[in-house]
Each structure stands twice: as C-alpha cells, then as structure tokens.
Structure 1
C-alpha cells in the first residue's frame, strides 16, 4: 500500500494533483480542503489511500493524517463510496463533518451533494460514537496536545496505536502518560502501557 507520496506538485486542480516523485508522476485525487492547503506550495507530502476496484486503481491524497483517517471512516459506512467521501471533504472541513455527525445534524449533512437523508442518518448512526470522543478532545485540549513531543520510541507507539484504530489525540495522550511512568521502555512495552491508559 502507498502510505504517502512526497515530491513536486507538477499540476494542481481543485480535484487532483500530479506529484513528481523522482521523475515518476502520481495522479492523486484530492478534496477541495487539501487543494486549499497546497494551492501555494510547489512541493510537499500527501498521505494517500489506494483504492483498487475491478475497473481502476485510484490514489486519493490528503494534506493531513486527520483528513485521511476521517476519509477512511466515511468510506466504511454502507452507501458512502470514495467519491462521496471526497465530495464531503470538499463541501465541509473535516472538523465540520465530525461536528455535524456528533451533533446529529442531518440537515447540514444533506447540504452536501450526494448525501440524502438516509445516508446522513446512517453516517450518524455508524460514526457518532466513534467520533464523539475525538470531537470532545479537539474542543477541550487541542492546544495542549499540539505541544506534545515524543522520543522516537514514543512516536512509533503513537503511529502503532493509530493503526489499531485509536484516534490521534487519544493515542498521544496515552503515550504521554505511559512515557511518564516508564524508564527507557521498548516500543512494545510502551504500547501495552498506553493501551491501559485509554
């Protein structure tokens, strides 16, 4: 799987960007949210998700890991495909989507092209609980978490927890607490201790 691409942005549109990685061009589908973030950049890194279907292999790119994680959660909802999820991320900022789902705001979700009442309700039913804790932490402590720095082992532990399905803010808080109680831990030990803090 292609986790990210890093290189020159050869051609950018609000829907896609061609990234030159060592003379190999990747055609990456992006949201309007990501386009706004890279519009003034000549190069950079995009986190990616490769979707393989019978008829095509499509690479989706995201300026932030948070946007990628939300995209993956959205496409796991029945009836929401990659195109619809990208449309959602183009119509609303990631934090606005999370807020609308957590607050069960069906009407706001329906304003996005391709999202009807049934799909909006399904998004709320399937994602509300998963996103609620993340939303509360974003509102209450994002400034504190943003200043957190980790050792290499700590950073690896955070990455591993995110891969297990734990949102970034929870993972960082748990690893921070674990590092405070352990002395030069191995990454496996740090992960196990962090899991107890979640």
Structure 2
C-alpha cells in the first residue's frame, strides 16, 4: 500500500501534543511500516532531552525544520527514530503495529517482538543513520495522520532515562499488545 504524505503535525505544537497526535499515525520507511502505537516526548527545556544543552553536531536535526527525522545511535548499538517538532523538541517513536511490508519486517526481525521498542522498530523498518535530518515528505519517510481515533491514548513515565523520570511524557494506545512496555 502506498501512502501519500500528509504531515500529522503543526510546527507550533509542543512535544507532548505532537507525541499524542502521532499515536495512530501511519509511518513508513521505504515502503515498510505500520501504525504508531507508542511515543515519548522530549522538550527543549527537558533535562532528559538531547537538546537540553543546546545545539551540537549530534543533535542538530532537533533544531532543524519540523517534520524531519532525528535519528541517533543509542548505547552504540540501536538506532532510534524521532519526529522533530518545534526547535529543540522531538518525539521518539517507541513502537508500531506493523501493517505494510510484514514479510520484509519478519525477515529483518525473525525472532522476538517485531516493532516493540525503538531499536527493534528501527531494525524492522531499516531506519538508517543517513535518514537523520531527512523530511517525512513521502519519498523514503512517510507520516500520515490517523483518520479517526483508534482507541484511548494513555500516558505514563518515560522509559530508559535517568533525568525527569516522573514526567508522564510517554504515550500509548490502549489495547495494543506491541507496546515496548506496559503502562
């Protein structure tokens, strides 16, 4: 299935509003993807955010245009895909329900959860370091908003961080089995 580009974000939305809005959106990377079911918000003034101390070579995409990808290597092992919002803000895509190119996803992730967790998701979708800073413009990276609500969006604390751990800036879709961790 081919999805056209329709940005599911307004560059004026704060990181939490964008994270909520991305729940239920369709995400495709080079024709393979699914429905976003879990996100995490990171704001410019958030001590857990890569942008907290200002622009660097590593986080420069976070200060670029809204609707572009911020891709980084976590713990030297796993790529993580984010959607840039306002300057210095981004939303980490934590999990999705695979729907397009499922045979390809299963080849890339033959065992274990397919797209539950940002590292698994990036492996399943073949997100690359070279995708950093690229637009979700419908060429290789596509984001399309949810047509209608697909369930209740819940929130809770973010995962795998050591600062601002109590902020309820992790969002997920109720009833989904492919979340990176239960709420």
Q: TM class by shorter-chain length?
A: under 0.3
Greater per-residue helix proportion: 1
Normalising to structure 2: TM-score of the pair? 0.23
Greater per-residue strand proportion: 2
Higher CA-based Rg: 1
More contact order relative to length (CA 8 Å, sep ≥ 6): 2
Normalising to structure 1: TM-score of the pair? 0.22
